[in-house]
Structure 1
Amino acid sequence: MIATRLSLRDFRTYSSAEVRLGPGLTVITGRNGAGKTNLLEGIYFACTARSCRTSNEREVVRFGAELTRTELVCEDALGRHEVTVGFKPGETKRLRADGAVVENLVGTGARPLVSVFLPDRLELVLGAPALRRAHLDQVIAALWPGRSGTRRAYSAALAQRNALLASIRAGRASRASLPAWDAELARHGVALMADRAATVDNLRPRYAHHAQGLGLEGKVELRYKPRSEATSADELAAELAERLESDLERGFTGHGPHRDDLGFRREGRELRSYGSRGQQRLGLLALLLAEREELAAAHGAAPLLLLDDVMSELDATRRGRLVDLLRRDGQAVITTTELDHVPGGEEEDVTRIEIVDGRIETPTHA
């Protein structure tokens, strides 16, 4: 699935914009503040109906406008596809895939899978475990859409158990129904842990390969760090029962997959604590490339990869290695302030888009 054309209306700084994307590497150039990241966000929003930059999606609507609309045209072996997203703050998003109204874009075959690197995404390495858990679960949902409900079911059971703990602590409920919720939570929890472990096992060799290819020296490892050692629902339920008194004291469930983490390690140490900023950036890039390769193996096509300002902190050697990886297969879009920061960026198989004073110039080939 290749994205070929993007149309934006009242999205961020663009009142109206249309760009054509190349089937391989597309390079977006422009000075700082020109609107390169806004355009990249527009591609992501058109693919997912979500922003990759903010949780307050009112911000994506151009100042002074009431709503925004994106349209993405794609092509695959079956022909042309079209996905539209209409968003007015305070109202339900209006989504269409190939003309049919859909509730969400997850699992639809009318658009490509997409992965994005933004400078702020370094929080995936540096930030709280919850960010890494959420990211890992998104990868699982992309690999196996049928399993996306496992995390929702676990979260619902966790909320019910926590509410019951609070009621017991306040003297409004008894402990009689706790074993049933322990069993329910454990059933979904063991399934969630198994999916996470299998995904990280699959990603681990690809992660090491790409990290080394990008020049992250030393022994690197991607590691799943489950809070529980249980291998069955009964074992996890027993662990929950053993910790009941401490849970009642806190008023919430302190043990289980909702406390899991994902570790980025180099030479036996966490990149988060002991890596340089450059090493952390390479670790994140290696993860995205590993996920892209795994998704390509699972679905027969690599996801669309969006990379914002990734070249500015890489030396010439690492820039060359990254571009070589991107040009092997699949579709990628890179933003940069200088075209010469992208090795081979002037070659004829590279699509170029220039943003000048907020205007998108016609894509060109060398």
Structure 2
Amino acid sequence: MTVAPQILRLSLTDFRSWRTATLQVSRRLVVLTGPNGAGKTNILEAISFLAPGRGLRRATLDAVAREDGPGTWAVAAEIEGAQGLATLGTGVATPPGAEASHARKCRIDREPVGSATAFAEHLRLVWLVPTMDGLFLGPASERRRFLDRLVLAVHPDHATRVSALERSLRARNRLLENPSPDPHWLDAAEHETAELAVAVAAARAETVQRLAAALFERGSGPFPSAGLALDGWMEGAALDRPAIALEDQYRKALRDNRGRDAAAGRTLDGPHLTDLAVTFAPKGIAARDASTGEQKALLITLVLAHAELVATMTGIAPVVLLDEVVAHLDPGRRDALFEALGALGAQVWMAGADPAAFAGIAAQADLFEVAPQRVTLSR
């Protein structure tokens, strides 16, 4: 049985442009409209901090604090989630430079938890924002981050493993900077690196395999079908070979390539270099070669299929955040998007400058008018 969590009340304090804001929500469709710069995206970003990671802008803790504020910030949400009614809260309680730890804190029902990973028991999130529009044309690192966000929605500990892998690779690189590195220390670093690398690769491979199957089942429709593949040997082998065998293979590769990696100043083999290959199926071409409009439609396809996959794999339909998406669609695709979102059964938060773009769902949505330091429920 799938549950569909719903944010009932959202509160922001000293977050981005907002000194304070509170939104009471009663419906599964939530629309934020208002002029550019009013703070609509900031509200969506605040929600995105109710998931592991650095939010939809990948911001630092200092960056999201209000510019002329005290340096602290808070986001809280009362939700009807996978575990029933709960209050999730996160933020920074001490300003930069304070003696106390300037770190992000997380609470559930006002009780401290170790990290935002614990929020995943109550709430899952997926999003599509304008900064993702260049995904297919940008560097592989951007597609890896997108891929890892897909994985994180179904495996809440994935971000921790990715971060640990990055630290382990840096530690190995530092050892290789020494003209005569201690082989025992290198062996230990490579042992840890291999374990983490295989865990990261396996989670990616499983998620992409399932998502590719879901995309195939969706077939053609108002939004184009897509093909997915991972350009990385470890991910390619992770579903067919035992983890311990892959770890041994990667340790050998790391050991054999110490000289090459030392000369390069970085590790030249591993899942930290994997790319996500996306195909625009209707034309059988790489997504990067599709038109701008086709790429936008393809992103919507991926997000919709991913939201369905999260619900299938976790039993929790994710809350969907869409920033400035509908304004770029023709009326037919706009209606198709609204229909697809309704079929998800999830709560969906959408933001856009033009209220007319949401006329097709106005009767079914909570409509908020957003202005600087003011957000008002219009219906």
Q: Same fold (TM over 0.5)?
A: yes
- Give the TM-score taking structure 1 as reference length: 0.87
Name structure 2 gaps, 5 residues minimum: 97-101
Residues 1:166 and 2:177 aligned together: yes
After TM superposition, list the pairs within 5 Å mapping 1:314-325 onto structure 2.
314-325=329-340
> In 2, distance between residues paired with 1:311 and 1:204?
25
Change (3 A) 1:62 1:249: closer
Deviations 1:257-290 (A, max 9, x none): 1111111112443212x12221222222222222
**Matching residue of 1:346:** 362
Match of 2:374 among 355, 359, 364: 359
Q: How far 1:50 moved relative to its partner?
A: 3.6
Contact 1:10 1:61 in 2 (8 A): yes
> In 2, distance between residues paired with 1:54 and 1:77?
26
After TM superposition, list the pairs within 5 Å mapping 1:167-206 onto structure 2.
167=178, 171-175=179-183, 178-179=186-187, 181-206=189-214
Deviations 1:228-256 (A, max 9, x none): 56652233233334433322321321011
After TM superposition, list the pairs within 5 Å mapping 1:17-166 onto structure 2.
17-46=21-50, 50-66=54-70, 67-76=72-81, 78-87=83-92, 88-90=94-96, 91-108=102-119, 111-145=122-156, 149-166=160-177
> In 2, distance between residues paired with 1:57 and 1:148?
17
Residues 1:243 and 2:251 aligned together: no
Deviations 1:117-162 (A, max 9, x none): 1101224333222222233233333323355554344334322321
Amino acid aligned to 2:346: G
Contact 2:117 2:157 in 1 (8 A): no
Change (3 A) 1:206 1:191: same
Amino acid aligned to 1:39: I
Contact 2:48 2:55 in 1 (8 A): yes
Q: How far 1:357 moved relative to its partner?
A: 5.5
Deviations 1:85-125 (A, max 9, x none): 23254222232211101231113357421122110122433
> In 1, distance between residues paired with 2:144 and 2:35?
35
Change (3 A) 1:98 1:363: farther
Deviates more, 1:145-154 or 1:36-45: 145-154
Amino acid aligned to 1:139: L
Three-state SS of the structure 2 residue aligned to 1:140 is helix
**Matching residue of 1:336:** 352
Name structure 1 gaps, 5 residues minimum: none
**Matching residue of 2:99:** none
> In 2, distance between residues paired with 1:156 and 1:360?
42
- Give the TM-score taking structure 2 as reference length: 0.84
Aligned residues: 357
> In 2, distance between residues paired with 1:257 and 1:356?
44
Amino acid aligned to 1:269: I
Aligned CA RMSD, in angstroms, stands at 2.7
Amino acid aligned to 2:263: E
Contact 1:353 1:362 in 2 (8 A): yes
**Matching residue of 1:308:** 323
Three-state SS of the structure 2 residue aligned to 1:361 is strand
Q: How far 1:74 moved relative to its partner?
A: 0.4
> In 1, distance between residues paired with 2:159 and 2:66?
33
